[in-house]
Structure 1
Amino acid sequence: MRLVRVVVRRFFTERFFDQAAQTAYYLLVSVVPFLIFMLSLMSFFPIKEGDILGFLEPYAPGNSYSLIKENVQAIVAGGQGQTMSISFLSTFWLSSMAIQSLVRSLNGAYNIQRRLSFFTGLFRDLGVTLIFMFLVPVSFMIPLLERLLHLLISTEVIGTIEVLTPYFKIWTVVKWGLGTLFLFLFFLLFYKILPNGKQALRYVIPGALFAAICWQVASVMFGEYASSVNYTRIYGQLAGIIILMLWFYLSSVVLLLGGLINAEYEKMNKIKAWPRS
């Protein structure tokens, strides 16, 4: 409970909610170029456009998902060769700005003063951006893995499963389990390499677990809320963008809370171990 109190207090007193808003803005302006680049890149692999957009569908609020889908499909329809080169450059730059914002926020969570020179720090952030840009496509292999498991279950043991319990319940657990496992590993790497300084793996597990679970829960709950509230009446045609911005803000809050949990968990464990050293 002390860990929770400290994390919540720091989140508000050190104004991490402002930093979450900054990160959400960078994510907003980079999401469409990033998805266009992914669609262009995935054309070289046995992955369909629906797999990539479908990966977002369970998490993105309905209006926002429709907005992303329509824009991406309209731009990609204009030609993939030129689109890929342009979208890569814009995605790389805009994504690096989001990464730099997250690095500054996580350094603040650990109270780390960045001692790298401007260009050294910039090249490091660009390198981290490249890692995540080429790591994210791996996540789009999950729909293929789901389809393979679905086929195996259907052909081998579906009869037994139908006798024991409704098939769709089993498949829902498998599907969300795969997604949660991937997100946990993704956030584990995220919290390991983003802050400056060396982070022990055991100290980033709590934040990664928190982010993997809470991001999914928060996204689903926000999606239900957004679908029940008529934002169009207030914002008109901007409703989809506003909802998407709120979703990115909520996601950024979860990411920064995970970083604060890791920082405070590490600090508390080192304080406990200090008298014995």
Structure 2
Amino acid sequence: MKITKQMLVRFFGERFYDQAAQTAYYLLLSAIPFIIFMLSLISFFPIDQQAILDFARPYAPGESFDLIEENVNAVLSAGKGQVLSLSLVSTFWLSSMAVQSLGRSLNDANGIERDLPFWKGLLRDFGVTLIFMIMVPLSLVIPLLEKVLRWIVAQSDTIEHWSGWLDIWPAAQWGIGSLFLLLFFIAFYKILPNERQTVRFVLPGAIFAALGWQVVSWLFGTYASAFSYTRLYGQLSGIIVLVLWFYLTAVVILLGGLLNAEKARKEERTH
């Protein structure tokens, strides 16, 4: 309980909420180019683009997701080869800014000073961005597994035997997705700060971020569906909801980093 209190005291006292807003801005800039890059990439594989969008739909507020889907479909109509090359460049650059912002925040959370020369730091940030850009497409295995499972059921002579798997697939899909999120955040908290961290050190924050992000996304999605932002922001309502969701995402990530830092400090004081 003391760790949680100190984590929240630092979050507000050291104005991490301002850093979360900065990160939300960079995430907003990079989100649509990144999704376009992902969908352009999978167009070369036997995976339906709509299946990927449907897989991501539960995690984003409905109004914001509709905005993303509309813009993504409009851009993809330009042709996958050209879109892939353009979105790769823009995604890499914009995503690296989000990574740099989060890296600075996690360094502050852990009391780490960045002593690398500018060009070395920039190369490191680009390398970390590339790692995460490679990791995220691995989540595409989940829709692919569903497609394989449905093909097996369709080809099987004993459909009744396999149909039970389709019934439990939504729960299995959530479990696989949560496991992927956990592994992603373990890598995130381990790699991003400028000092090497052990898996044991980053595990509490990774668990908090993996579960907390899903809970916050669900709660905010429910709230956004019940409350109409259109009355306040008109046609900008979808963008406003998206920015708020990115802000809450950044808050959860930074709280996870603070949790790791405060847990480590408590262990140091007890030894």
Interval containing the TM-score (normalised by the shorter chain): over 0.9
| Distance in 1 of aligned mates of 2:221 and 2:24 | 17
Confirm or deny: 8 A CA contact 1:61 1:243 kept in the other structure: yes
Within-5 A mapping of 1:47-196: 47-149=47-149, 168=167, 170-196=168-194
Unaligned 5+ runs, structure 1: none
Match of 1:248 in 2: 246
Distance apart, 1:191 and its partner CA = 0.5
Q: Distance in 1 between matches of 2:72 and 2:218?
A: 23
Partner of 2:2: 2
Instruction: Give, in whole Å, the separation in 2 of the partners of 1:82 and 1:161.
Output: 41
Would the alpha carbon gap of residues 78 and 157 (structure 1) be closer, same or farther in structure 2, given more than 3 Å must change? closer
Asked if the contact 1:158–1:167 (Cα under 8 Å) also holds between the matched residues in 2, the reply is no
> Which residue in the other structure is 1:268 paired with?
266
Residues 193 and 199 in structure 1, CA contact (< 8 A), matched pair in contact too: yes
The C-alpha deviation readout for 1:64-103, integer Å capped at 9, x for no partner, is: 0100001000011011111111111111110000000000
Among residues 208, 216, 219, which one is paired with 2:217 in the alignment?
A: 219
- AA in 1 matched with 2:252: V
Match in the other structure for 2:230: 232
CA offset at residue 52 of structure 1?
A: 2.3
Aligned partner of 2:128: which letter?
Answer: V
Distance apart, 1:259 and its partner CA: 0.5
Residue 15 of structure 1 pairs with residue 12 of structure 2: no
Shift of 1:151: 6.1
1:184·1:208 contact (CA, 8 Å) conserved in 2? yes
Q: What is the Cα deviation at residue 146 of structure 1?
A: 3.4
Does the aligned pair in 1 maintain the 2:7–2:255 contact within 8 Å?
A: yes
Cα distance in 2, alignment partners of residues 272 and 51 from structure 1: 50
Q: Per-residue displacement from partner, 1:205-238 (whole Å, max 9, x unpaired)?
A: 0000001101011101111110111111110000
What is the aligned partner in structure 2 of residue 38 from structure 1? Answer: 38
Matched residue type, 1:100: Q
Gap runs ≥5 in structure 2: none
- Describe the superposition over 1:249-276 as per-residue Cα deviations: whole angstroms up to 9, x where unpaired: 0000000000111111122223323xxx
Match of 2:25 in 1: 25
Closer/same/farther in 2, CA of residues 15 and 240 from structure 1, 3 Å limit: same
Q: Does 1:259 align with 2:257?
A: yes
User: Whole-Å Cα distance in 1 between the matches of residues 98 and 268 of structure 2?
Assistant: 31
CA distance in 2, matches of 1:140, 1:73: 18
* Counterpart secondary structure, 2:59: coil
CA shift in 2, pair 1:221/1:113, >3 Å: same
CA RMSD of aligned residues (A): 2.0
Structure-1 separation of matches of 2:263 and 2:17: 20
Cα pair 1:51 1:140 within 8 Å, conserved: no
Moved over 4 A (4+): 149-162
Q: Please tell me the residue identity of whatever aligns with 2:208.
A: F
Residue 195 of structure 2 corresponds to which residue in structure 1?
197
Q: Deviations over 1:174-232 (max 9, x none)?
A: 12111111100111101110011110110100000001101011101111110111111
Report if aligned partners of 2:40, 2:83 keep a CA contact under 8 Å in 1.
yes
Code of the residue aligned with 1:179 in structure 2: it is: G
Query: C-alpha displacement at 1:173, in angstroms?
Result: 2.1
Aligned CA distance change for structure 1 residues 147 and 265 (closer, same or farther; 3 Å): farther
Distance 1:248 1:57 in 2: 15
